[in-house]
Amino acid sequence: MNFNALAKLRRYLEVRHHVPGRIRIVFRPAIADEPLVRELMGNGADLPPGVRSARVNVLARSVVIEYDAHAIPPAMLEDLVNADDERAARLLRELDAILRNMDRQEVQ
């Protein structure tokens, strides 16, 4: 699960359902041609801090991301999918800072 790839692919994505801690994002079929799809999903071991799981349902053309809503602000994920380029870049920087801080707290 890679937030940078999520931001780069956002033109193919739409938030279908979101409650704090769980977001379902649907994607258009054209996303299959994008090499970033593999980077987006990675493997289960590559989950960033605060993300509990990321599951793809190919038939439903969706991905469900379960995350710690206390660590990652819920509005931030939804905004990331809907943002323009400038806002997405700013959100990625903010999210990166949050994740780095979480990494430091886990080490201590």
Output the pLDDT for position 45.
Answer: 60
* Over residues 77-104, mean pLDDT: 91
The number of folded domains in the chain is: 1
Residue type, 12: Y
* Residue of higher predicted confidence among 41 and 18: 18
Tens digit of each residue's pLDDT (9 = 90 or more) over 31-50: 877 777 766 666 556 788 88
Describe the strand order of the beta sheet including 51-57 as a list of residue ranges.
13-19, 22-27, 62-67, 51-57
Beta strands in the chain, from DSSP E residues, in sequence order: 13-19, 22-27, 51-57, 62-67
Dihedral sign of CA atoms 30, 32, 38, 41 in order: positive
Say which CATH number the domain at 38 has.
Answer: 3.30.1360
Structure tokens at 94: 């903010």
Beta-bridge partners for 64:
24, 55
The model carries a pTM of: 0.83
| Residue numbers of the domain that contains 87 | 3-107
* Over residues 44-63, mean pLDDT: 84
- The Cα-based distances of 14 to 11, 51, 54, 74, 100 in angstroms read 8, 19, 16, 15, 27
- pLDDT-derived band at 86 (thresholds 50, 70, 90) equals very high
Output the pLDDT for position 51.
Answer: 92
Rounded to the nearest 5 percent, the helix, strand and coil shares of the chain are: 50, 25, 25
